[in-house]
Amino acid sequence: MRLTVAAVGRLKRGAERDLVARYHERAVRAGRAIGFRALDLVEIGESPARDAARRMTEESIAIASVIPDGATVVVLDERGENLDSPSFADLLRRWRDNGRPAAAFVIGGPDGIAVTLRQRAELRLAFGAATWPHQLVRVMLLEQLYRAVTILSGHPYHRE
């Protein structure tokens, strides 16, 4: 199963970028042994449109164009479902075991994502009710993907 994280905006040098790189590398290395063959990080440029609705539409079109065919779409949304780490890992396991070719995790821009893209989502995932900076959401998502892989492989990173 291929995993894709598509996020609006580019991470600049700094702590967030370093953490994303660290968790990405760990998840890729640990995931290969249990059937996660890739973890692609795709950065979508922010739309220069002046109108928020147009920015959201343009960014959503760009995101949709990088979602792999047949992928399960997960949208990060503060109004979404809160899952604990074992439940998140179990979802990935079920998708993998059911032959899903890919899962795409979408992090929209400051204006959000278009309704049409949100409607494609099988899961709207939240990291609590708070609104988080997009850079931190990317770090938290990569850490949770790494944690899920370690849970599924029996690695002691996650403790109950």
pLDDT for the residue 14: 93
pLDDT for the residue 158: 74
CATH number of the domain enclosing 36 = 3.40.1280.10
Among 53, 55, 68, 54, residue whose Cα is nearest residue 9: 55
pLDDT for the residue 157: 80
**160 found inside a domain:** no
Among 28, 128, 31, 36, residue whose Cα is nearest residue 77: 128
| Number of domains the chain contains | 1
Give tens-digit pLDDT for 56-87.
999 999 999 999 999 999 999 988 999 999 99
pLDDT for the residue 130: 86
Domain that holds residue 56: 2-153
Q: How far apart are CA 76 and CA 113, in angstroms?
A: 10
pLDDT for the residue 145: 98
Structure tokens at 84: 């604990």
pLDDT for the residue 131: 85
pLDDT beneath 70: ranges in the chain: none
Q: What is the pTM of this model?
A: 0.94
pLDDT for the residue 104: 98
